[in-house]
A and B are shown apart, each in its own frame.
Chain A
């Protein structure tokens, strides 16, 4: 184990010198955890997530993480995360597809319990039929829970989002769990270049007393979430308490915007802001969208890309502004339901501009040609089919 010194989160995330490494997405998660001063990590196997938590287990064995265990199943793992965080610890776990759904009851209760933690979600098909392949339909299940949901395009994003996830999550005006989602296999098991800050630096430890809801540790008066709480009563006051609590969770989610901007440079990334046609995409679809934008530019077409980094909070204002003069908006996705497409349509005027797709699912890759076909179609260009990659 390398001796680590505590440094300011701003320095570690934004200023420290970085060195380029060629690593997998799973390794990128682990590199973030190594520098995140994590107290406890709780693991449960599911493909394609498992490798990340193996590597985090190694970090525990080496002394970078203070406690680690393999839980009984995801519901137990995610419940134990809630217990550890309420006890004042900084915690991390990760899961995939069916595992996420098994742990979902616990996970979607974290915002209400005001649990600041980071959860890696390495997307995988939701059964049935059985498959272990990437498909990000599971992210749709996270969108209405109050969680902060970041969607990583590549290994670099995985590292940056995960490391920044802890300070964002623990800000007093946020205090919500952060999900860092990325496509299983495409990102977790593939290598990419990642710029890493030095490994002899780490985030300051969590300060559980800098909190809107104090920890339950018998050191200070606890939050009495349950005393005279809505669960106990059926009267107007109890409805009101629950309503206000929900409003506060969603307000906190909104307040995360400024910290996402601060640490990650914004909720979106825009390529060619003056474009006529935009591709709006998140995660791996953004990587393919980036390629399509590059090809289009080579062909002299005025196409832009909006990569949505933060799904919750959703960059509604940003999208309205960027897309105000767009003739068409193409939303490629790795799922059948088109959750991102629905989100985009809901926040911009003239929704008929939105092209619903292309969509691939069941684990398929997203060929750039599919996106190019849509670009040609909306621009009225008739093309002979040709192979681009």
Chain B
């Protein structure tokens, strides 16, 4: 059904905004695009009000291009920078209250499972380090403990960017930020290990330097969540404003962090591994 609601009713094409017609005719609905073809199809998110040089905006662009089933996907976000772009995309977006994403997603996914037991309706949370690991920590953890079948993506800019640059639990130790005038007093939270312990079936950590790999990870996280349980991606998405990274050095910074504490890491349960091996075998044949 998802595809039906995005299509334009016959006779209305000429009255619809050009942008929308392009989205339906040259967009991602109903087909899988290759992220390397970015720029050659109409993307799900184009306009956004994020800062020039924002690496989170780049990651979100790749995210939307990677969705396995955009016409049947619902994205949830919370306060913070990410929702500025998420709310502008051509995919349904829910913004609730502060840090509530994983609780709202739990209710939403269960409702969709009750109502559409034979369909895949992908639910994806994209929230920041503050939303998922500070204010929403309990709800993030418990959605994993309960094995809720949706994907959580943490766009970690290591700071409360949208409120003006305050320390978060994910800021590295020692960094001087607002509300940490003497530098942060404790270590960056190890979100990936928490996710594994809490019951995620697929966990990845990355610095967004390789679009093909990002796309693969996002696709895997969403597919594994459909069938097996909670999945988690921890993505480094620097804040060039609060960390004073010159725009032209944003990618270099991402590469630098990739060599240090954001080495690509992917972990999954045996069950999930088997599922991907089967799936990829079939894809090669096809």
CB distance from A94 to the nearest CB of B (A): 16
Q: Which residue of A lies closest to B111 (CB)?
A: A87
Q: Write out the residue numbers on chain B whose beta carbons fall within 8 Å of the beta carbon of A76.
A: 100, 103, 106, 138-139, 142
Task: Give min CB distance, B93 to chain A, whole Å.
Answer: 6
Q: How large is the interface on A (under 10, 10 to 19, 20 to 34, 35 or more residues)?
A: 35 or more
A83 at the interface (CB under 8 A from B): yes
Per-residue 0/1 for A50-85: is the Cβ within 8 Å of any B Cβ (1 yes, 0 no)?
A: 000000000000000011010111011101111111
Cβ of B260 under 8 Å from chain A: no
- Name the interface residues of B35-78: CB closer than 8 Å to any CB of A: 49, 71-74, 76
- Using Cβ atoms and an 8 Å threshold, which residues of chain B touch A89? 107, 110-111, 114-115
Distance of A91 Cα from B97 Cα, bound (Å) = 19
Inter-chain contact A219/B1, CB cutoff 8 Å:
yes
- A227 within 8 Å of B by Cβ? yes
Report which of A67, A79, A232 forms a contact with B87, defined as CB distance below 8 A: A232
CB-CB < 8 A to B100: which residues of A? Answer: 75-76, 79, 82, 106
Partner of B103, one of A79, A85, A216, A220: A79
Contact A87 B87 (CB under 8 A): no
Q: What A residues does B108 contact at CB under 8 A? A: 83-84, 86-87, 216
- Whether B174 sits at the interface, judged by CB under 8 Å, is no
How far is A329 from B133 in the complex, measured between Cα atoms in Å? 53
User: B48: shortest Cβ distance to chain A, in Å?
Assistant: 10
Known contacts A75-B100, A86-B94; A217 and B114 CB within 8 A of each other:
no
Q: Which residues in window 74-111 of A have CB below 8 A to B?
A: 75-77, 79-89, 91, 105-106, 109
B88 CB-CB contact with A under 8 Å: yes
| A42 within 8 A of partner (CB) | yes
Q: Give the most central of A86, A113, A225: most B CB within 10 Å.
A: A86
- Using known A-B contacts A71-B142, A83-B103, determine if residue A220 contacts B5 with beta carbons closer than 8 Å: yes
Q: Beta-carbon contacts of B112-150 to A below 8 Å, as 1s and 0s?
A: 111110000100000000000000001101100010000
Separation in Å of the A164 CB from the closest CB of chain B? 23
User: How many angstroms between the C-alpha atoms of A219 and B7 in the bound complex?
Assistant: 12
Cα distance A67–B76 in the bound complex, in angstroms: 22
A218's partner among B73, B87, B103 (CB-CB below 8 A) is B73
A16 at interface (Cβ–Cβ under 8 A)?
no
Interface: B2 (CB within 8 A)? yes
Q: Chain A contacts of B106 at CB under 8 A?
A: 76, 80, 83
A227–B88 CA distance with the chains assembled, in angstroms: 6
Question: CB of B104 within 8 A of chain A?
Answer: yes
Q: Decide: A72 near B95, CB < 8 A? Known: A66-B114, A83-B108, A84-B108.
A: no
Q: In the complex, A227 Cα to B202 Cα: how many Å?
A: 31
By a CB distance below 8 angstroms, the chain B residues around A82 are 96, 100, 104, 107
Given known contacts A88-B111, A88-B115, A232-B49, A79 and B104 CB-to-CB distance under 8 angstroms: yes
Contact string against A for B residues 163-176, beta-carbon threshold 8 Å, 1 for contact and 0 otherwise = 00000000000000
Contact across chains for A105 and B74 when beta carbons are under 8 A apart: no
Q: How far is B110's CA from A152's CA once the two chains are assembled, in angstroms?
A: 31
Q: Which residues of A contact B104 (CB under 8 A)?
A: 79-80, 82-83, 86
Would you call B115 and A217 a contact (CB within 8 A)?
A: yes
Q: Is A317 an interface residue (CB 8 A)?
A: no
Residues of chain B lying within 8 A (CB to CB) of residue A225: 95
Chain B nearest CB, measured from A70 CB (Å): 9
Are A106 and B97 neighbours in the complex by a CB distance under 8 Å?
Answer: yes
Asked whether any CB of chain B lies closer than 8 Å to the CB of A40, the reply is yes
Residue A6 CB within 8 A of the other chain: no
Find out whether the CB atom of B139 lies under 8 angstroms from the CB atom of A219.
no
CB distance from B85 to the nearest CB of A (A): 11
The listed residue (A69, A73, A218, A229) touching B92 by CB distance below 8 A is A218
Q: Which among A77, A80, A220 has the greatest number of chain B C-beta atoms within 10 A?
A: A80
Task: For the A-B complex with A79-B103, A84-B107, A222-B92 known, give 15 more contacts whose Cβ atoms are closer than 8 Å.
Answer: A42-B107, A67-B110, A71-B142, A72-B138, A75-B100, A79-B139, A84-B111, A86-B94, A88-B111, A89-B107, A89-B111, A89-B115, A109-B96, A226-B87, A227-B87
| A-B CB contact pairs (8 Å), 17 listed | A40-B111, A75-B100, A75-B103, A76-B106, A79-B107, A79-B139, A82-B96, A83-B109, A86-B108, A87-B115, A88-B111, A89-B114, A219-B1, A220-B5, A225-B95, A226-B93, A227-B93
Closest 9 CB pairs of A and B: A87-B111, A83-B107, A80-B107, A84-B107, A89-B111, A83-B104, A79-B103, A72-B142, A83-B108
B residues with a Cβ closer than 8 A to A are 1-2, 5, 49, 71-74, 76, 83-84, 87-88, 92-98, 100, 103-116, 121, 138-139, 141-142, 146
